[in-house]
Structure 1
Amino acid sequence: MTEYKIRQGNIEDAEALAAVEAECFPKAEAATAEEIRERLSVYPNHFLLLYRDGKLVGFIDGMTTEEKDLRDEMYEKASLHNEKGAWQMIFGLNTIPAFRRQGCAGRLIEAFKKQAREEGKKGIVLTCKDKLVHYYAEFGFVNEGVSGSTHGHVVWYQMRLTF
């Protein structure tokens, strides 16, 4: 029987998470081990890691902020995190390719939603490529159109889930 476990991140996870990130995103879009380590040092409780049968298969992460929209600087500056911020951002939803289309990402999204609700957030904001707009809509996110983000030099759509 398959066993799933989700836990919050810690600084010791940086290298493993960077390896997962590199499998999931093109180099221009992937966070480096150093960036992940910096984020983990500031907001480890906003990293949820998914293990399947003891193997790390994915994670979701992002800072919280009072700002309503996701900006590129947020990816680069963990110091912009505000633990009491009203909005939970999602910087990355990562599932290693061999475990995609098996519900892993959905488990992470639902766990992140639950945590954000429990923390009293107004909602969650993410950006995604056009091909994933319909996927996030299945979880209640609403497409707000093309984002101001130019992260990785691609077009992103901002999506919001308001509680």
Structure 2
Amino acid sequence: MQIRTATIDDLAAIAAVESECFPPAEAATAEEFKERLEHYANHFWLMFDNDKLIAFVDGFCTDIPNLTDEMYAKAEMHNEDGKWQMIFGVNTLPSYRNHGYAGELIQAAIADAKSHGRSGLVLTCKDKLIKYYSKFGFVNEGISESVHGNVTWYQMRLTL
């Protein structure tokens, strides 16, 4: 397995993986990913099995400490010098799950945030994943203000 950051050439593969991992109400569109890649492709961590994209983690940087729904829609809010690395998605194709690939990508995002002197990382997740993200040091801060996809999300923070 190989890990690298994204380029605009990865757009179709990223959108395809996202559509397999999230229901339509929660999945980002190809157009949203295009904007994200134009603003912060270096904050997409991609994992490949040979030439096949099997998993990715993405998100942008900001000085705003809490993840909001506005952030998903406005890629231009990215601040390369921001204190917080937001994580918008952790995606692994169903046939590749339970092998630790997502964890490797999360560790890559954490290492990148540390190397850039960020304060930490923030993500939201469903209640069934709180224990999973806790293994990486993320702390549950309670129900998020995000109502993305009409789902109850919990905000998790890893302070570096």
Q: 1:16 aligns with which of 13, 18, 33?
A: 13
Shift of residue 54, structure 1, vs aligned partner:
3.3
Cα distance in 1 for residues equivalent to 2:47 and 2:27 = 18
* Map of 2:68 onto structure 1: 71
Secondary structure of the 2:118 match is coil
* Map of 1:107 onto structure 2: 104
Secondary structure of the 2:114 match is helix
Cα distance in 1 for residues equivalent to 2:37 and 2:21 = 19
* Map of 2:78 onto structure 1: 81
* Map of 2:88 onto structure 1: 91
Instruction: Name stretches of at least 5 consecutive residues in structure 1 with no aligned partner.
Output: none
Q: 1:55 aligns with which of 33, 52, 55?
A: 52
Shift of residue 71, structure 1, vs aligned partner:
0.4
Q: 1:26 aligns with which of 12, 18, 23?
A: 23
The count of corresponding residues between Structure 1 and Structure 2 is 160
Partner AA of 1:135 in structure 2: Y
* Map of 2:35 onto structure 1: 38
Cα distance in 2 for residues equivalent to 1:17 and 1:122 = 27
Root-mean-square deviation (CA, aligned residues, Å) is 0.6
Query: Does 1:7 find its partner at 2:10?
Result: no
Cα distance in 1 for residues equivalent to 2:49 and 2:108 = 15
Q: Calculate percent identity across the aligned residue pairs.
A: 59
Partner AA of 1:131 in structure 2: K
Query: Does 1:158 find its partner at 2:140?
Result: no
Cα distance in 1 for residues equivalent to 2:86 and 2:149 = 18
Partner AA of 1:13 in structure 2: D
Instruction: Name stretches of at least 5 consecutive residues in structure 2 with no aligned partner.
Output: none
Can you list the C-alpha shifts for 1:73-103, whole angstroms capped at 9, x where unaligned? 0000001111100000000000000000001
Secondary structure of the 1:158 match is strand
Partner AA of 1:34 in structure 2: E
Shift of residue 55, structure 1, vs aligned partner:
2.0
Q: 2:120 aligns with which of 102, 123, 130?
A: 123
Cα distance in 2 for residues equivalent to 1:33 and 1:54 = 20
Shift of residue 52, structure 1, vs aligned partner:
2.1
Cα distance in 2 for residues equivalent to 1:71 and 1:26 = 19
Can you list the C-alpha shifts for 1:107-148, whole angstroms capped at 9, x where unaligned? 100011001100111000000000000000001000000000
